[in-house]
Amino acid sequence: MEKHLFLPNLLKQRAFLTPERRALTFEKESYTFREVFKVASRWAGALQNQFDLKKGSKAGVLIKNTKEGYFLLLALQQAGITAVMLNNRLTFDELRFQVQDTSIKALLYDEEFQTHALELKKYIQEEHVISLSEMESKQNGEFLPEEQVEMDSVCTIMYTSGTTGKPKGVLQSYNNHWWSAVGSALNLGLKDTDVWLCAVPLFHISGYSILMRSLIYGMEINLHEKFDEEVINLELKNGGVTIISVVSAMLQRLLKNLGEGGYHPDFRCMLLGGGPAPKSMLEQCKDQRIPVFQTYGMTETSSQFVTLSPEDSLTKLGSAGKPLFPCELKIIHSGKEAPANVQGEIAVRGPNVTRGYYNREEANQASYVDGWFLTGDIGYQDDQGFLYVLDRRSDLIISGGENVYPAEIESVLAAHPAITEAGVIALPSEEWGQVPAAFIVKESPLTVSEVKDFCRNSLAGYKVPHHFYFIESLPRNASNKLLRKDLRELIEKGNFNEDR
Amino acid sequence: MEKHLFLPNLLKQRAFLTPERRALTFEKESYTFREVFKVASRWAGALQNQFDLKKGSKAGVLIKNTKEGYFLLLALQQAGITAVMLNNRLTFDELRFQVQDTSIKALLYDEEFQTHALELKKYIQEEHVISLSEMESKQNGEFLPEEQVEMDSVCTIMYTSGTTGKPKGVLQSYNNHWWSAVGSALNLGLKDTDVWLCAVPLFHISGYSILMRSLIYGMEINLHEKFDEEVINLELKNGGVTIISVVSAMLQRLLKNLGEGGYHPDFRCMLLGGGPAPKSMLEQCKDQRIPVFQTYGMTETSSQFVTLSPEDSLTKLGSAGKPLFPCELKIIHSGKEAPANVQGEIAVRGPNVTRGYYNREEANQASYVDGWFLTGDIGYQDDQGFLYVLDRRSDLIISGGENVYPAEIESVLAAHPAITEAGVIALPSEEWGQVPAAFIVKESPLTVSEVKDFCRNSLAGYKVPHHFYFIESLPRNASNKLLRKDLRELIEKGNFNEDR
């Protein structure tokens, strides 16, 4: 009896079972699982032999949604290297923090990010930075793929922030990804004609989970580098795609562009993540017969954890649904499990939940109670067990599907010599769902454009506040904790005008 | 980090997630998962409180394919009691062996088997025998279902025989059943409109695995007490059923009765187990557009392990297909892995493979090598990895879907005072696929009908030989091992006439 679970090497097994099935379509080129396994094995050979990356080491990944990015992720799996997934929209400082935090042994990058990659070089052990075209040009026939994968081993690390503003690397094992894929299939069903359109980033769990499902289901990924609503609407109408993952901002753009005629009858799932959807949008989808599955999940749960079926989407408006089969959730109020309709912190349990954050003993101690992971999000369950998410943890802002943490922006702002302190909240945006807005207490004269420039140097573009308000002082409670709710109220009451 | 995997209590979770979905249809009555959970909880309460069966104990189960039998199996899961699945066609002696071998604490039986149950009473600890109608009449409101199930715990024990002739109890954990269900879904796909017709016995892995899939998929079982080809053909034509499990003998009867008009377009899988299918039958299925999925599996792999898709069924005639995704197989020849097209013993590995036989240390030692389970079956893989099964272990005879072991029949025959020794082999049968045939060396005068009567006292009906040959001596090799192949050759060469 083994303590650790081993499964067949996922890509190798898939290439053995269904070699001629399509694995990937990208810019009108398609690849079968046999072909994909061949490329991934060659690249894995280069990683191990040419670049001396051993099994069990960690490599940073700075890629786009391209076929080369996809091949790289599979090559890393084949070589047994943990992929540290870097968000390609981050600034140099943000990237440097993550690169140093995980002590990666190499950085693998798409040429588009060469400037950052070369700047990061000296922060990487052995100063190993390798471009995708270097990978492509290396030949290596000596790679012998593993027969099995140890499911407990760490497949990916993805960063997420929190109250402190310091991002933490979420450990995602093969096991986590496997159970996420299985839980999703048990919920959404599985057809051998399924094709999943991936226009969400591969470096996010939303995109990476599609890659894992593709291997496990034997399903084609239709990969898009950019989200172009016109191109994607055409694909959904033509019938080559059965499932797509989107966030609200994407769905809004699809609806705006949709025009006459609905989607193809084979299109069966619009998987909508990243926060609750507005009623008007859901009603529009119902009118257009678009089957929307709302979901709630996070990097720590290796993608969706709770899903709402289309038949419930309007009767249970605002709900995220019920857990996937292998998953459990409960609401904790005053240290105890809350009854129905009482709000509290959302706690989750299941084999797709991370074992913890990389090198963050303190956060790990604080995040788990009796095997339950505390999400920090606030919500309640109704009588039938449907989950309603009221507030994302740490006043999380979800802007165009990206997580933005107020504390992170606040600490950047506070570092400006002319700023005493700052508070950041979410404001609604038609285009992005939410955008950050900053309240700033000045120490000396300062213009909005100066602050913006300053932010752009230290923060990814999507984190730079869209609205600025100069204020005398920030509302705080007795223990000096910033009251972001009060900032929101100031705006809602119309007491404040935006500074420009 | 937990060493053992826990999942949500399967039936409870299913009843929570999809309470109003149909779980079971039996004789035109249907039950939702909510209703099934309610009955199973009530019965579990009776088991625990009225009949004092504690969590972790073992109970024998002597049932038919009825709704009460189904409820009982779910109640045992809820109460955390391991079900020792007794084949209801066994004789008293056969049952007594299994009942004593597992030291069950109680025997739960359908009224139809009352005679056996009462005879078995004194061989059961505390002489606990409980009929299904007693279960039904007990009320108990105090049952508190477990929140989770420990996946490593033993869900069922099913007996299988071997070379020694002494049946061995196969330990099947919740984990084994789970992975079997998931592997099957990844292979066959999953639709929320799926309905699986179960006319194979619930006490076999073929039937029990449908029950498990039902819980895990949220899928309706259409349960039949008897295999009536006319009734079942009607169901397959009417569209209420999408999948059915059969053995060759059943499929032959369906085809004979089919008449005009094929099956409903929603019918998508004829899952065919129990040995290779004759070419003529497969061709007939192709003509009638019946999607046949041939499978190879055994009690030790918790049902199907290898499956052949319909598109390969005629090009790969005689093959059992490729493994399910979580499963691996290899052919062992002279102690090493055999290359393609070389025959040897089939070895399997995967999370649906049993951890071993109950209380059979020696057999367990012999059955596993480096984590691989040795099936005892002989076969080879072609260049593409398709498995061809040539000989079932220990000259296994598969008669109407039931496993019949020659050694078991031989040891019964040898116990007759007028018989010196006996050899048993399979002969083809149009009705049953195969039937046992006995070669007998007489010590004193004896008629065929005397031998038949003697067999009927000690062997289940399907094990009683259909053909008898009196012979001077049995062919044996140098180490005195019976050469059953030589017996088969005697028949094939026409050297022998049947005795009647």
CA A393 from centroid of its chain's CA atoms:
15
B209 falls within a domain: yes
Reduce the DSSP state of residue A92 to 3 states and report it.
helix
Cα–Cα distance for residue pair A391/A303, rounded to 1 Å: 18
What is the structure's pLDDT at A2? 44
B190 lies within 8 A of chain A by CB: yes
Which of B2, B185, B371 has its CB closest to that of A190?
B185
What is the structure's pLDDT at B228? 97
Q: How many structural domains compose chain A?
A: 2
What is the structure's pLDDT at B1? 40
**Stretch B346-372: mean pLDDT, rounded?**
94
Same domain assignment for residues A288 and A359: yes
What is the structure's pLDDT at B189? 96
Reduce the DSSP state of residue A117 to 3 states and report it.
helix
Range of the domain at A447: 396-492
Q: Could you report the average pLDDT of every consecutive run of 10 residues in chain A (500 residues)?
A: 80 97 97 97 93 94 98 98 96 94 96 97 91 84 91 96 75 98 97 96 96 98 97 96 92 91 95 80 90 94 93 84 97 93 93 96 92 91 93 78 83 87 89 91 91 91 93 77 81 78
- Domain boundary residue among A327, A352, A381? A381
Same domain assignment for residues A69 and A177: yes
> CB–CB of A190 and B192 under 8 A?
no
- Backbone φ and ψ of A344, nearest 5°: -175, -165
Confidence of residue B220 (pLDDT cuts 50, 70, 90): very high
Which of A148, A192, A325 has its CB closest to that of B189?
A192
Contact B213, B197 (CB under 8 A): no
- What Cα–Cα distance (Å) separates residue A212 from each residue in A28, A36, A181, A270, B127? 21, 14, 7, 18, 53
Please name the residues between 373 and 392 in chain B that touch chain A, using a CB distance below 8 Å. 384-385
Confidence of residue B2 (pLDDT cuts 50, 70, 90): very low
A391 falls within a domain: no
CA angle (B270, B271, B274) in 5-degree steps: 130
Same domain assignment for residues B183 and B236: yes
Among A95-109, B340-354, B361-375, B476-490, the minimum mean pLDDT is found in B476-490
Contact A343, A330 (CB under 8 A): no
Cα–Cα distance for residue pair B178/B149, rounded to 1 Å: 11
Among A491-495, B159-163, B173-177, the minimum mean pLDDT is found in B159-163
- What Cα–Cα distance (Å) separates residue A279 from each residue in A276, A309, A313, A389, B287? 9, 15, 9, 15, 51
Cβ contacts of A218 on chain B, cutoff 8 Å? 186, 325
Give A52 to chain B, closest Cα distance, Å. 30
A444 falls within a domain: yes
Same domain assignment for residues A369 and A450: no
Answer yes or no: is pLDDT of B386 > 60. Answer: yes
Same domain assignment for residues B207 and B231: yes
What is the structure's pLDDT at A1? 40
Confidence of residue B163 (pLDDT cuts 50, 70, 90): low
Cβ contacts of A16 on chain B, cutoff 8 Å? 322, 385
Cα–Cα distance for residue pair B214/B194, rounded to 1 Å: 10
Could you tell me which chain B residue has the CA closest to the CA of A385? B16
Could you tell me which chain A residue has the CA closest to the CA of B185? A190
Cα distance between the two ends of chain B: 67
> For A124, which DSSP code?
S
> CB–CB of A8 and B190 under 8 A?
no
B21 falls within a domain: yes
For the domain that residue B427 is a member of, what is the CATH number?
3.30.300.30
Q: What is the mean pLDDT of chain B?
A: 91
Q: Which residues have C-beta within 8 Å of that of residue B328, sequence separation ≥ 6?
A: A8, A13, A147, A148, B348, B349, B350
Cβ contacts of B185 on chain A, cutoff 8 Å? 185-186, 190
- Identify from B2, B3, B5, B7 which residue to disrupt to test chain A contact, counting A C-beta atoms within 10 A and taking the largest count: B7
- What Cα–Cα distance (Å) separates residue B122 from each residue in A21, B103, B107, B111, B118? 59, 12, 11, 18, 8
Cβ contacts of A13 on chain B, cutoff 8 Å? 325, 328
Same domain assignment for residues A291 and A436: no
Contact A69, A63 (CB under 8 A): yes
* pLDDT tens-digit series, residues B412-433: 898 898 998 889 999 988 888 8
Number of helices (H) and strands (E) in chain A: give both, helices first: 15, 28
Same domain assignment for residues B111 and B195: yes
B259 lies within 8 A of chain A by CB: no
A314 falls within a domain: yes
Which of A14, A190, A325 has its CB closest to that of B189?
A190
Same domain assignment for residues A190 and A300: yes
**Closest to A413 measured CA to CA, from A425, A402, A397, A431:** A425
- Domain boundary residue among A381, A415, A442? A381
Same domain assignment for residues A356 and A405: no
> CB–CB of A1 and B325 under 8 A?
no
Same domain assignment for residues A377 and A463: no
Both tokens of B216, joined, read 């895990």
**Stretch B398-422: mean pLDDT, rounded?**
86
B7 lies within 8 A of chain A by CB: yes
- Domain boundary residue among B354, B381, B408? B381
Contact B310, B283 (CB under 8 A): no
Same domain assignment for residues B400 and B377: no
> CB–CB of B351 and A5 under 8 A?
yes
What is the structure's pLDDT at A162? 59
B387 falls within a domain: no
% residues pLDDT > 70 (chain B): 96
For the domain that residue B112 is a member of, what is the CATH number?
3.40.50.12780
Same domain assignment for residues B440 and B353: no
Cα–Cα distance for residue pair B158/B82, rounded to 1 Å: 11
B1 falls within a domain: no
Cα–Cα distance for residue pair B207/B299, rounded to 1 Å: 11
What ipTM did this prediction achieve?
Answer: 0.88
Contact A263, A290 (CB under 8 A): yes
A117 falls within a domain: yes
Among A281-285, B53-57, B431-435, B491-495, the minimum mean pLDDT is found in B491-495
- Identify from B148, B324, B328 which residue to disrupt to test chain A contact, counting A C-beta atoms within 10 A and taking the largest count: B328
